[in-house]
Amino acid sequence: MKHKFMRRSISALTEKEFDLIVVGGGIFGVCAVWDAVLRGLSVALVERRDFSHATSANHLKVVHGGIRYLQHADVYRVRESCKERSALLRIAPHLIHPIPFVMPTYGHGLEGKEILGAGVLLYDIITNTRNRGIADPARRIPWGRILSRDQCLKLFPDLNNKKLSGASIFYDGQFYNPTRLAISFLRSSANAGAVVVNYVEVTKFLHKNKRVFGVKARDVLSDERFEIKGKVVLNTTGPWASDLLEFGAGIRLNPRPSFSRDLGFVVSRRLIDKYALACKIKTRDPDAILSRKGRHIFLVPWRDCTLIGVWHIVHEKDTDEISVTEKELQTFIDEINEACPFVRLGLEDISMINTGLTLFGENEPGSKDLRFGKRSMLIDHTKKERMDGLVTLIGVRATTARGMAEKAVDMILRKLGRGFLRSSTSETPIYGGKIDSLKDLLEDAMGRYKHRLDEEVVRALIYNYGSQYDEVLKYMDENENLGETVGNSTIIKAEIIHAIREEMPQKLEDIVFRRTDLGTAGYPGENALLECAYLTGKELEWDEKKRGKELQEVRRIFSRKICC
């Protein structure tokens, strides 16, 4: 089935009353739209900036299967996370990939491979249905195993081998590109009839007699003011949710949710290969029933780079003010170098800083060993504040977005009196996800385009667009030059044209950071940015002044994301 293009239409938001209005275009919002439209609701989604611009794009890109929640004896969360990882592997096999994690052990007893191996075995038994419905063997999550000391050193010969007793391996998932996942959900939703519009800010909830019936909104690009009518409004604005409730409807959440500034960074070279590595640090998890004395920082291979993280700090500043100092980064690098001396990192090795705000636990001021958030918040404001027609969903991990969206839509259907309509989002492939075998698709594409495109370009196309990669390459038929790469990247010019014509970018940054891979791992070089700006400006009919302004904004974003 041919997919419709995403078209930005303010008039489509105002010409009818919707069953559901979703406010917030992060991963929880886009999953909610997809679930609702598949269950027959008329749905609109608005986002005050671009889709997936905040935390949804800036994390360690791990699809958590829940193994770490075993130490909290939180079996519910283990099963929930595993179920959602499996769903993502089914519906987006091009964007989610299994990856092995190695956790070295030193000594024996509680710190040894025997106890850790038993924990991995218990996890595998609890999640023994994790591969149900995953047809492609390469997408399945294998059983974990124990490694001997020699086997561990063979994988990581530079590890500190003093008291090294071996390691345990478990498998998790990895996002190839989180922003492409969000766009894929949105493309599928638009194809099914949803209205999705970026750069629309909600300024107030429309309500009367304690019932919400829509929102007041502003087009951020034109400053046009208008109203969107809807029977139910779902607030999925994450760390901005409390503020929106307060100025939009006079609702104060009590207690007000706290958020962590999560931080990880990208190193522009492969420090390790194929296997992710867990390095123990000094801070502890105070909620752990069975603790190995320290938390872990992960080194994770990703594309041609290495992802390192995550560090947490309670965020006490304004929600829009997320920053990292050079001193903080140096502290984190020192911690990594102490835990894994062989990496020998310096500030100059960081090619991209990823930060976002994540729902957190309750912590005393100045706490070193921090409590993480454990459950997403799904609030029916009819029960809490007697404000009917308003629901808030604040998610705790991107992995569980689809499942929490399903629960939110269940609640909304009850409010609408629609009865029970089963969700099908855990089995229905999203845009690009109709793939029997990723390996076969890749080999077929390599064969078809071996005389026109480099293998790395084809591989990136398959991972980003899956079964719909021809929708990008069709633009080469009108202009063969669109098969050329942008700068030294794997991005071809056809991807930029495809994004502009089909995926609703409004700014240069939308293309650089969220529609393509161009700026997702670090600064791509000035030539690449200039080429991208020229193509975008030509397609959108920008004059030189507009193009210069857009370039300046992208450079400013890179200045925040690159420390030196």
For 245-286, what is each residue's pLDDT tens digit? 999 999 999 889 999 999 999 999 999 999 999 988 765 555
pLDDT at position 369: 47
SS3 206: strand
pLDDT at position 544: 97
Q: Are the C-beta atoms of 469 and 462 separated by less than 8 Å?
A: yes
What is the CA 30 to chain-centroid distance, rounded? 11
pLDDT for 1 beyond 70: no
In terms of Cα–Cα distance, which of 197, 200, 177, 182 is closest to 266?
177
Tokens 């100092």 — which residue? 325
Q: Are the C-beta atoms of 286 and 371 separated by less than 8 Å?
A: yes
pLDDT for 291 beyond 60: no
- The C-alpha angle with vertex 397 and arms to 392 and 399, in degrees rounded to 5, equals 110
pLDDT at position 508: 98
Q: Are the C-beta atoms of 545 and 517 separated by less than 8 Å?
A: no
Helices then strands, counting H and E runs in the chain, come out as: 18, 17
Question: What is the sign of the dihedral through the CA atoms of 266, 184, 415 and 206?
Answer: positive
- Determine how β-strand 62-63 pairs with β-strand 225-235: unpaired
Q: How confident is the model at residue 312 (pLDDT cuts 50, 70, 90)?
A: confident
Q: How confident is the model at residue 13 (pLDDT cuts 50, 70, 90)?
A: very high
Burial of 249 (0-12, 13-18, 19+ CB in 10 A): buried
* Axis-axis angle for helices 113-126, 75-91 (nearest 10): 70
pLDDT for 367 beyond 90: no
pLDDT for 294 beyond 50: yes
pLDDT at position 429: 98
The C-alpha atoms of residue 354 and residue 273 are separated, in whole angstroms, by 21
Q: Per-residue DSSP letters for 414-483?
A: HHHT-------TTTS--TT---S-HHHHHHHHHHHHTTTS-HHHHHHHHHHHGGGTHHHHTHHHH-GGGG
The C-alpha atoms of residue 62 and residue 286 are separated, in whole angstroms, by 23
pLDDT at position 293: 57
Domains and CATH numbers, the chain: 11-55+179-257+375-416 (3.50.50.60), 100-174+258-359 (3.30.9.10), 438-561 (1.10.8.870)
Token pair belonging to 79: 């099963």
In terms of Cα–Cα distance, which of 244, 249, 194, 204 is closest to 227?
204
CA 4 to each of CA 189, 229, 353, 556: distance values in angstroms, whole numbers, following the listed order: 10, 24, 34, 33
pLDDT in tens, 76-121: 999 999 999 999 999 999 999 999 999 999 888 777 888 899 999 9
Tokens 């791509």 — which residue? 524
pLDDT in tens, 409-443: 999 999 999 988 999 999 999 999 999 999 999 99
pLDDT in tens, 36-58: 999 999 999 999 999 999 999 99
pLDDT at position 427: 97
pLDDT at position 365: 47
- Arithmetic mean of pLDDT over the chain: 93
pLDDT at position 372: 57
SS3 370: coil
pLDDT in tens, 211-250: 999 999 999 999 999 999 999 999 999 999 999 999 999 9
Torsion-angle region of 109 (φ positive above 0: left; ψ -120 to 50: alpha; else: beta): left
